């Protein structure tokens, strides 16, 4: 795969170069790395018949050869994606295939590489066989960000470096936990995680700040957009980047997106087995920084059968307002119950706009969209829990928008991106109380190793240089 820039079509780099550089340089026009070309595979539908690990290796091989051999990619897949990815039919009386209080849901060593499927009984008449949840929260940090973070960690471990790396990332909730888990204890590497102080859930903060060691937790006095701005400023400083061997684990790093392409194909594969008569699904993606949606659109460009993609946001309506016909107007993030989506200036929207030639009409034809405020989110949460499905606020947003976007006769899938127990305090306020899995229980008595940092570039650079 050759990559180019969203702002400079003449630029061409390899995948490995893009992973290490993170962003095109200012002298190259800036922007983000994107595939120079994506065209549908004639046998894309046939790939759905392959087992999970074999399909992942095949897709990555097509994208990353000759930079990686098939053997190397098979090793990376085994290392990064060793947890289940179940597609769960929504049923009136059926819970998740892995209830939140079971050991496997903790991302423990008991998890297996083969995605688990619900039993045929889950498609009994009381089921809503047209609506499914793709559960992406069965990895170590209990969120979908495990896919990209673990893939990136496996890729970086196989790239030579003459000095220790600093993996720098901003998080609005789940990314930081996934990056911390993926890089904790890895030799020759330090993970520095920036998050908005007081604006991620207490358990999310514990996942980042209780590890210590080579994980540096920095609580920034500001919003997620401030954290993202600080990270970009560090990468725009060539001297700092070289000195610290900086690498990003945010979705500005294209490796994250390639990993996420894989589970969209898994959704199609499991849907084919669970509902043989269903047509291509409409897939709703809870969207904050828009990397997850971008990965899904890339999958469709490669030939994934999909009837549509739904951009589901909370009260941060920068993108829906633009698609409705307004100006594209970035704005400060608004705090909501679905905090990982509290992004007013989404970085990856630039990639999506680039994919469709910067033409709003093409974007409107390619997407469906909608948003839920907190009140509507709570209504969907209560309805899903009453039906036996333990959703978290982000999945509830996706489900609620999907229900309004799906058309008669269509099958809908929404992405369940985080374990509900990560939002125990938020859910408990509405009478919804998921039990904590072992992975979170273990954090409750551990001390926090965090530092509060002003939202200024020099403060961050000074702290990173201090070691």
**Domain at 98, CATH number:** 3.40.50.1100
In a domain, 71, yes or no: no
**Alpha-carbon gap, residue 59 to 399, rounded angstroms:** 28
Q: How many domains does the chain have?
A: 1
Beta bridge partners of 217: 193, 450
Find the helix packing angle between 52-64 and 70-80, rounded to 10°. 130
**Alpha-carbon gap, residue 252 to 387, rounded angstroms:** 37
Domain that holds residue 413: 84-143+255-434
* pLDDT above 70 coverage of the chain, percent: 92
Out of 87-96, 111-120, 376-385, pick the least confident: 111-120
What is the mean predicted confidence (pLDDT) over 13-42? 94
Out of 33-37, 70-74, 117-121, pick the least confident: 117-121
SS3 assignment, position 80: helix
What is the mean predicted confidence (pLDDT) over 90-99? 51
SS3 assignment, position 135: strand
Six-digit token string for 245? 């061997």
Of the pLDDT bands very low, low, confident and very high (cuts 50, 70, 90), residue 173 is confident
**What is the tens place of the pLDDT at every residue in 426-454?**
999 999 999 999 989 999 989 999 999 99
Residue among 156, 17, 14 nearest 80 (CA): 156
In a domain, 160, yes or no: no
Six-digit token string for 308? 């549509």
In a domain, 166, yes or no: no
- C-alpha 292 chain-centroid distance: 5
pLDDT at 340: 87
State how far the alpha carbon of 64 is from the alpha carbons of 58, 148, 249, 270, in Å: 10, 16, 19, 25
CB 379 within 8 A of CB 261: no
Q: What is the pTM of this model?
A: 0.88
Tell me which DSSP letter residue 436 carries: P
**What is the tens place of the pLDDT at every residue in 302-346?**
999 999 999 999 999 999 999 999 999 999 889 999 988 999 999
In a domain, 60, yes or no: no
In a domain, 391, yes or no: yes
Residue 380, pLDDT > 50, answer yes
In a domain, 412, yes or no: yes
Mean pLDDT of the chain: 90
Q: Which residue has the tokens 């039906």?
A: 387
SS3 assignment, position 435: coil
Six-digit token string for 231? 């990270």
Beta strand 2-5 pairing with 33-35: antiparallel
How many Cβ atoms are within 10 Å of 337's Cβ, its own excluded? 26
In a domain, 453, yes or no: no
Q: Which residue has the tokens 């930079």?
A: 67
* pLDDT above 90 coverage of the chain, percent: 80
Of the pLDDT bands very low, low, confident and very high (cuts 50, 70, 90), residue 248 is confident
pLDDT at 192: 97
**What is the tens place of the pLDDT at every residue in 190-211?**
999 999 999 888 888 999 999 9
What is the mean predicted confidence (pLDDT) over 373-402? 97
Residue among 132, 136, 127 nearest 94 (CA): 127
In a domain, 373, yes or no: yes
């Amino acid at each position: 795969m050759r990559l180019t820039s969203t702002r400079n079509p003449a630029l061409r780099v390899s995948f490995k170069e893009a992973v290490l550089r993170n962003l095109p340089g200012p002298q190259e026009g800036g922007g983000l790395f994107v595939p120079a070309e994506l065209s549908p595979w004639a046998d894309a539908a046939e790939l759905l018949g392959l087992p999970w690990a074999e399909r992942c290796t095949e897709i990555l091989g097509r994208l990353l050869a000759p930079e990686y051999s098939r053997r190397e990619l098979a090793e990376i897949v085994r290392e990064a994606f060793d947890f289940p990815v179940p597609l769960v039919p929504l049923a009136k009386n059926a819970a998740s295939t892995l209830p939140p209080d079971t050991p496997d849901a903790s991302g423990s060593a008991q998890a297996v590489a083969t995605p688990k499927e619900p039993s045929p009984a889950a498609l009994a008449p009381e089921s809503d066989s047209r609506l499914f949840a793709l559960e992406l929260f069965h990895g170590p940090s209990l969120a979908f960000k495990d896919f990209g973070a673990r893939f990136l960690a496996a890729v970086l471990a196989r790239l030579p470096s003459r000095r220790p790396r600093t993996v720098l990332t901003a998080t609005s909730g789940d990314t930081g936990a996934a990056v911390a888990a993926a890089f904790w204890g890895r030799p020759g590497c330090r993970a520095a995680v920036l998050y908005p102080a007081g604006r991620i859930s207490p358990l999310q903060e514990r996942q980042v700040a209780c590890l210590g060691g080579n994980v540096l937790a920095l609580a920034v006095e500001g919003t997620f957009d401030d954290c993202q701005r600080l990270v970009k400023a560090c990468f725009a400083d060539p001297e700092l980047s070289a000195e610290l061997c900086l690498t990003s684990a945010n979705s500005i790093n294209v490796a994250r997106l390639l990993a996420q392409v894989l589970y969209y194909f898994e959704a199609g594969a499991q849907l084919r087995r669970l509902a043989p008569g269903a047509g291509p699904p409409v897939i709703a993606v809870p969207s904050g920084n828009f990397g997850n949606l971008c990965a899904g659109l890339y999958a469709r460009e490669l030939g994934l059968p999909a009837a549509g993609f739904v951009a589901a946001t909370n009260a941060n309506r920068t993108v829906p307002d633009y698609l409705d016909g307004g100006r594209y107007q970035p704005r400060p993030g608004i705090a909501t119950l679905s905090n990982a989506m509290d992004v007013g200036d989404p970085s990856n929207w630039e990639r999506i706009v680039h994919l469709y030639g910067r033409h709003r009409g093409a974007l409107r034809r390619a997407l469906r969209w909608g948003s839920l405020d907190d009140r509507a989110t709570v209504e969907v949460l209560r309805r899903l829990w009453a039906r036996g499905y333990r959703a978290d606020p982000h999945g509830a947003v996706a489900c609620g928008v999907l229900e309004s976007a799906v058309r008669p006769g269509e099958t809908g899938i929404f992405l369940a991106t985080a374990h509900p127990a990560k939002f125990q305090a938020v859910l408990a306020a509405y009478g919804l109380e998921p039990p904590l899995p072992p992975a979170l229980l273990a954090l409750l008595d551990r001390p926090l190793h965090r530092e509060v940092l002003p939202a200024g570039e020099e403060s961050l650079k000074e702290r990173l240089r201090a070691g």
